[in-house]
Structure 1
Amino acid sequence: MGLLSQGSPLNWEETKKHADHVRKHGILQFLNIYNKVKERQKDVLKWGDEVEYMLVEMDDKNEKVLLVLNGKDVLEILQEKGEKINPNHPTLWRPEYGSYMIEGTPGQPYGGTMSEFNTVEDNMGKRRREAASVLNKNETLLTVTSFPSTLTRNIRHRRGEKVAINVPIFKDKNTPSPFVETFPEDDGEAARAALPDHIYMDAMGFGMGNCCLQVTFQACSISEARYLYDQLATFCPIVMALSAASPFYRGFVSDIDCRWGVISASVDDRTREERGLEPLKNNKFRINKSRYDSIDSYLSCCGEKYNDIELTIDEDINKQLLDAGIDKLLAQHIAHLFIRDPLSLFQEKIHLDDENESDHFENLQSTNWQTMRFKPPPPNSDIGWRVEFRPMEVQLTDFENSAYVVFIVLLTRVILSYKLDFLIPLSKVDENMKVAQKRNAVQEGMFYFRKDAFKGCNPVLDPPSTAQNGVESEAKDSEEFTLMSIDTIINGKEGVFHGLIPMLNCYLENMEVDVDTRCTILNYLKLIKKRASGELMTMAKWMREFAAKHPQYKQDSMITDKINYDLLHNLLETNTNRILNLHANGKTTAVQKKRF
């Protein structure tokens, strides 16, 4: 999720008083880090995943699913039994947004050898079993909604009104038309903000509570990290659609399959002035996007000519960074992040040592929740320059989550090994993001994608482009990319695109890989291949079909407690059966038939 700290949280009025202080010292902290490690080279590949879990109780008597609000206690028990007595414990546990959410990661990052891919699913299984072992009877792990915290309060106060999340409803046979909700205890704000034929939500918890799957990579240098950041940004909408798993909101069937737009709206703290609804008077900037959205600029020399969307920056901060020796692309990236205010500030974290701490930088860095995150090393650490891949939806099983993680890690290896270039104009990436969230986008959506990844620039040798805001030969650019289906992008189509899976298979053929690891990887890639082709349903589509066939569903777009209970029971049973099958077969490559 981002920066989560312990201490005495300040309300918005108190936080606002320190906003300039946080920005000023955040920039100083960034500059101190940059100057110390800008020349750092030859860091080895390390990577790790983050899986977010939610704690629930299955109320079998009443056939309901209840949230369990003891995440803090569960977290303390897991940490006491794990990392606090063994620094090399294989799993780590961290807090998440809601009081019924926890996050699990590997105890140590994975390394650069191919055999590491054979340990991912096993580690995820250990995490699941560890957490399950400290839960009470009828409690279990799932991955969905969250609970409001101090961040929620400050977003609402900074914005000046409640957030307004409007998700298009899925119009079924008996869905009222227009679909209009009534809010009995409404003071009028909900009625004004809710749109016809939309599911209305008005709190951060409806967004930030959706669980996700993320991967972080350590690059060998800052230039490699910037190159990877750009290249992976183009894959964010593709993999989001491929991992779609969230079709239901507030007890209704929506017309979207992914969580991204919901979270984006849930943490949109922009005022009416910043959103362009009123003239600027009390605010400094017009801001085009929520602080949770797709990236706004590429960072590498390869990407500069494709930066074709408007980028709002703090000019004073940008000049300060340029004067300090930061190049144009990185300076504008940081100056763009710092147009935001801090949302969460703790009394104990106001006055810091800028030479040795980075909390003020991270305060803004970590609350710009974008599809990709460029991560400087923490002060005085042996950690290198990193990038985080953030758009994936969490999956039901450890096998599926492992498949997506390994797919992305392998993709980075191929991009770096062959110096591939998948860049397209950022405006097209934004269009892809909108398509990716639509219902059944993995089968019906068409996405802008580069036709020939082998014709790109050399990220080390090519100088920055002289193009301004991506304005170069439009005819040339239009020849570089075209609309493709996800099946074409992943599996290839003769005369259109070679396909990512064939590229990865070619890479594997040229690597020394032991038989077990190769089999594991190929089974992961088989899952990705079948999801892209439609042979295997996405989680979102499977959930829709389950609800549609449920005897209590009235084709009115409503998910009752009973439907929800049976759905989650089925998912839990499926996961349990899969684990049992794995133990019985002694394999990590079986795909549970019932699930698919």
Structure 2
Amino acid sequence: MGLLSQGSPLSWEETKRHADHVRRHGILQFLHIYHAVKDRHKDVLKWGDEVEYMLVSFDHENKKVRLVLSGEEVLETLQEKGERTNPNHPTLWRPEYGSYMIEGTPGQPYGGTMSEFNTVEDNMRKRRKEATSLLGENQALCTITSFPRLGCPGFTLPEFKPSPVEGGASKSLFFPDEAINKHPRFSTLTRNIRHRRGEKVVINVPIFKDKNTPSPFIETFPEDEEAAKASKPDHIYMDAMGFGMGNCCLQVTFQACSISEARYLYDQLATICPIVMALSAASPFYRGYVSDIDCRWGVISASVDDRTREERGLEPLKNNNYRISKSRYDSIDSYLSECGEKYNDIDLTIDKEIYEQLLQEGIDHLLAQHVAHLFIRDPLTLFEEKIHLDDANESDHFENIQSTNWQTMRFKPPPPNSDIGWRVEFRPMEVQLTDFENSAYVVFVVLLTRVILSYKLDFLIPLSKVDENMKVAQKRDAVLQGMFYFRKDICKGGTAMVDGYSKAQNSTDQAVEEYTLMSIDTIINGKEAVFPGLIPILNSYLENMEVDVDTRCSILNYLKLIKKRASGELMTVARWMREFIANHPDYKQDSVITDEMNYSLILKCNQIANELCECPELLGPAFRKVKYSGSKTDSSN
């Protein structure tokens, strides 16, 4: 979730008064870091994943499932029994936005050897087992991206009612403040986003029109004039940060050997973000309704959109400095490497003074504009004790703004005075039901970075086309129905990896456009004379590497899952969930998810996650059965 400072949080008005101070000193802190480590080379490959979890409780008698607001207590025990007792403990635990959420990572980063790929799933299993051991009877740890009835009456345990009155953090009609993590950062973020924006956040998700769904689908909010104005016909309306940040995701961070390698990886992976997001689609339901989208990205983007009406272009600029085209949670706006510069075709709003300052300090144009773009944003939280800092040895002001620019990729300078190198974070993936699936997506992305660096691959296309891909990726069944702009010749300057591909590419007219529309099946699995496919390239890479038999078998199983999800032979989690609800005996084809339907779905998800039942349409024969069952729920119900 980013920077977690301790202390006394300031109100938005107080934070606003210090915004220029934070920006000014944030830049000084960045410059200290940059000058200290800009020439650092030969850092070893390290990487790690982050999995976010929800705590749920099953009421088998009444056929209900609710989110358990005990995340802080569970987290405290996990940390006490883990890292505080043993610095080399195999897992690390961190807080997340919801008080029903926790985040788990490996205790130590993974290294550069191929055998590390064979430890990812085992570590995820350890995390699931550790956290599950602390839960009460009929409680479970779930890796679901969005809880289908989040925001519906009685969705939390204990139950709290929303308080849409002044004084609350979110003023939501649906999401009680008690569901927000008790760390002051989270409620302060919620309150300050709303205050800065000048109104509640507005999230409108298109509803899926089934046979009996009212048309137009209209919700009325007579008790709330703001909601009545903000909600749209044929859309599911939501009004709080919790509807976005209260979802779960799967992320991977890589340490590069140098700043230039980190910038290259940042650019190349940015083009992959929409592809992997569509492949990992897992969130089709919102506030008790079936939606017409499969991914959470647009929901979370709107949930933290702090732009004023002026910044959104709805009123003339008077009190603000810029028109800003995107929420602070969105896709990247500029490539960082020299080879990406010609594809930077998005108008970039920057703080010109900061940009000039960075140039004068010897920072190149591309990195300077990247940082100057991040710093058009205000700090959203500030703690009284953290206003005046030692810029040479601390980075809180830089991280304050850096960590609240939540983009598809994040370029991460090393912390001051640390042995950590330049890193990039891959952020668009939706969390999957099982440790096997989550491991498969992590291994796929990490292996892709190895191939990108080894073969000097080039996936770059105009950034505006990546933005278009991001919109397509969120649509229902995008993995099968969507067409995505993708580069045709990714081997320029490198070695062709697939027989016949180099020959076919070299025979094409160089005047032909560099990119074209492709299906995800073509991008992932390849199509003769069109594109070699990422999986065949990864397989070719594996054949040239020394890999032990067990590791090779694990990797091939993971890649098989990705391959079959891309081809449609296996369903995405989103498609599987849609089918489950559509076939539920209580479903009336009206796009409504009742308590009992939600209970049946989450119970089934938990059984699949703990390998208590088969799910061949989701996992296929690639799924390896193991003995461990971490569930504390009564699966016989």
| Shorter-chain TM-score range | over 0.9
1:239 match: 276
Cα distance in 1 for residues equivalent to 2:120 and 2:441: 11
Cα distance in 2 for residues equivalent to 1:476 and 1:189: 55
**Maintained 8 Å contact 1:169/1:254:** yes
1:477 deviates by 8.2
> Is the counterpart of residue 42 in structure 1 residue 49 in structure 2?
no
1:525 match: 559
> Is the counterpart of residue 165 in structure 1 residue 203 in structure 2?
yes
1:37-66 Cα offsets, whole Å, 9 max, x none, are 000000000000000011111111221111
1:456 deviates by 5.4
SS for the counterpart of 2:447 is: helix
5+ residue gaps, structure 1: 459-474, 582-586
1:363 match: 400
Q: How many residues align?
A: 570
2:300 match: 263
1:501-540 to structure 2, matched below 5 A, reads 501-540=535-574
5+ residue gaps, structure 2: 151-178, 181-186, 496-508, 616-620, 627-637
1:185 match: 223
Aligned to 1:431, which of 468, 477, 483?
A: 468
1:103-142 to structure 2, matched below 5 A, reads 103-142=103-142
SS for the counterpart of 1:498 is: coil
Cα distance in 1 for residues equivalent to 2:390 and 2:58: 48
Aligned to 2:346, which of 309, 313, 326?
A: 309
Cα distance in 2 for residues equivalent to 1:588 and 1:124: 18
**Maintained 8 Å contact 2:343/2:462:** yes
Aligned to 1:150, which of 176, 180, 188?
A: 188
Cα distance in 2 for residues equivalent to 1:478 and 1:246: 38
2:66 match: 66
1:472 match: none
**Maintained 8 Å contact 2:433/2:608:** no
Cα distance in 2 for residues equivalent to 1:268 and 1:396: 28
**Maintained 8 Å contact 1:241/1:437:** yes
**Maintained 8 Å contact 1:9/1:346:** yes
Distance 1:239 1:477, change over 3 A: farther
Between stretches 566-575 and 228-237, larger displacement belongs to: 566-575
1:2 deviates by 2.2
**Maintained 8 Å contact 2:202/2:302:** yes
1:280-329 Cα offsets, whole Å, 9 max, x none, are 00000000000000000000001000000110000000001001110000
SS for the counterpart of 2:339 is: coil
1:219-368 to structure 2, matched below 5 A, reads 219-368=256-405
**Maintained 8 Å contact 2:207/2:235:** yes
Cα distance in 2 for residues equivalent to 1:327 and 1:476: 31
> Is the counterpart of residue 11 in structure 1 residue 11 in structure 2?
yes
SS for the counterpart of 2:513 is: helix
SS for the counterpart of 2:491 is: helix
1:232-260 Cα offsets, whole Å, 9 max, x none, are 00000000000000000000000000000
TM-score (norm 2): 0.88
Cα distance in 2 for residues equivalent to 1:356 and 1:207: 34
Distance 1:244 1:180, change over 3 A: same
Cα distance in 1 for residues equivalent to 2:197 and 2:37: 37
Distance 1:282 1:407, change over 3 A: same
TM-score (norm 1): 0.94
SS for the counterpart of 1:357 is: coil
**Maintained 8 Å contact 1:520/1:588:** no
Distance 1:544 1:191, change over 3 A: same
Aligned to 2:442, which of 357, 382, 405?
A: 405
Cα distance in 1 for residues equivalent to 2:241 and 2:462: 31
Q: Aligned partner of 2:367: which letter? A: L
1:551 match: 585
> Is the counterpart of residue 442 in structure 1 residue 479 in structure 2?
yes
1:138-187 Cα offsets, whole Å, 9 max, x none, are 1111234584422111100000011110100000001111000012531x
2:79 match: 79
1:589 deviates by 5.0
Cα distance in 1 for residues equivalent to 2:6 and 2:61: 38
Aligned sequence identity (%): 81
Aligned to 2:427, which of 390, 393, 404?
A: 390
Cα distance in 1 for residues equivalent to 2:26 and 2:100: 31
SS for the counterpart of 1:502 is: helix
Cα distance in 2 for residues equivalent to 1:478 and 1:439: 32
Aligned to 1:479, which of 513, 520, 534?
A: 513
Cα distance in 1 for residues equivalent to 2:16 and 2:49: 34
Cα distance in 2 for residues equivalent to 1:18 and 1:184: 39
SS for the counterpart of 1:49 is: strand
1:60-109 Cα offsets, whole Å, 9 max, x none, are 12211111111111111000000001000000000111111110000000
1:137 deviates by 1.3
Q: Aligned partner of 1:411: which letter? A: L
Q: Aligned partner of 2:22: which letter? A: V
**Maintained 8 Å contact 1:2/1:369:** no
**Maintained 8 Å contact 2:608/2:614:** no
1:462 match: none
Cα distance in 1 for residues equivalent to 2:612 and 2:546: 30
SS for the counterpart of 1:577 is: coil
Q: Aligned partner of 2:526: which letter? A: G
Aligned to 1:492, which of 522, 526, 547?
A: 526
Q: Which runs of 4+ in 1 moved over 3 A?
A: 143-148, 475-478, 578-581
Q: Aligned partner of 2:571: which letter? A: M
1:11-30 to structure 2, matched below 5 A, reads 11-30=11-30
SS for the counterpart of 2:411 is: strand
1:345 deviates by 1.1
> Is the counterpart of residue 198 in structure 1 residue 232 in structure 2?
no
Q: Aligned partner of 1:10: which letter? A: L
Distance 1:563 1:184, change over 3 A: farther
1:353 deviates by 0.8
1:360 deviates by 0.5
Cα distance in 1 for residues equivalent to 2:493 and 2:311: 37
Cα distance in 1 for residues equivalent to 2:545 and 2:259: 26
1:576 deviates by 2.1
**Maintained 8 Å contact 1:4/1:95:** no
Distance 1:247 1:588, change over 3 A: closer
1:54 match: 54
Q: Aligned partner of 1:272: which letter? A: R
Cα distance in 2 for residues equivalent to 1:208 and 1:456: 41
**Maintained 8 Å contact 2:557/2:622:** no
Distance 1:200 1:333, change over 3 A: same
Aligned to 1:215, which of 252, 257, 260?
A: 252
Cα distance in 1 for residues equivalent to 2:532 and 2:250: 27
Cα distance in 2 for residues equivalent to 1:252 and 1:5: 37
Cα RMSD for the two superposed structures: 1.7
SS for the counterpart of 1:234 is: helix
